Amino acid sequence: MIGIGLAAGFFSGLFGVGGGLIVVPGLVVLLGLDQRRAVGTSLLAIVPAVGASLAAYAFAGSVNLVVGGVLAIGAVLGAQAGAWLLHRMPRKVAQWVFIVFLFTMIAQLAFVVPDRGASLPLSPWQLVALALVGLLAGVLSAILGIGGGGVVVPILMVWFGASDLDAKGASLVMMVPTVLSGLVAHLRRANVEVRTGLVIGGASVVSSPLGAWVAHQISAQLGAWLFAGFLLFITVTMLREVLRRPRTA
């Protein structure tokens, strides 16, 4: 559990994600948790990681509260919808949607050169688009047990032209209410192993600031390539899970 937490915390700080893409597979494969309980427990573990990473980005001046707040409006609604859909929609459907999205983002990130001096103009249409992006991130957060950063960060970088650090900072702002909203929904459904989540979350606090520090030291281009590599690893992992044949009695 401590190892999972340290890994999740570092990647949370480095990529502006919650760490659920690390925690959920770890809980299922290494600790043998049921998929739904792994998803709920992951959301509890993500809370400290996101908080520590957000504090580090705020200290470095890389947090856009307006963008993050707009994303959060859609994400909170999406998290509640996702928790409801978790018991009614085949999980593989959400996984395939996420896999297709990841492949698209990986291909585009390979050719994007982020500009750390770029500012994000907020027209009315962009605000609506940000809210819709947050809605999608919230739904996938509750269904797959992720913080939503794996959805938001590449979209802000590729489609909105945001700085890589601003995209990660805004993603972390969005994830605070998103994760808490999804966590409450899962707690009501008794899908959370509280002790496990607290241990993993506690360990993540140690490594999150280190990941954030590394993100600010490397170049924007290297950061984009590393993020693409991270998404590729997650895609392959999820593909293996989706294509794995179910065990028979």
Whole-number pLDDT of residue 247:
54
Q: What is the pLDDT of residues 130-141, one digit of tens each?
A: 999 999 888 877
Determine, yes or no, domain membership for 23. Answer: yes
Look at the chain and report how many structural domains it folds into.
1
Establish if 162 belongs to a structural domain.
yes
137 lies in some domain: yes
Residue 71: phi, psi to the nearest 5? -60, -40
The reply to whether the predicted model has a pTM over 0.85 is: no
Would you say the C-alpha torsion 185, 186, 190, 192 has a positive or negative sign? negative
Mean pLDDT of 44-69: 91
Tens of pLDDT, residue by residue over 104-160, are: 888 878 777 777 777 777 888 889 999 999 998 888 777 776 667 888 888 888 888
- Give the tens place of pLDDT for each residue, 156-173: 888 888 888 988 999 999
Question: Would the pLDDT of 215 be above 90?
Answer: yes
**Does 238 fall in a domain?**
yes
- Cα separation, 3 vs 45, in Å, equals 13
- Checking phi first, is residue 63 left (phi over 0); if not, alpha (psi -120 to 50) or beta? beta
Task: Show the domain range for 226.
Answer: 2-243
249 occurs within a structural domain: no
Output the pLDDT for position 147.
64
* Residue 72 or 147, more confident: 72
pLDDT at position 249 is 45
In a domain, 75, yes or no: yes
Measure the CA angle with vertex 156, ends 6 and 227; round to 5°: 40
At 246, the pLDDT band (50, 70, 90 cuts) reads low
Q: Does 248 reside within a domain?
A: no
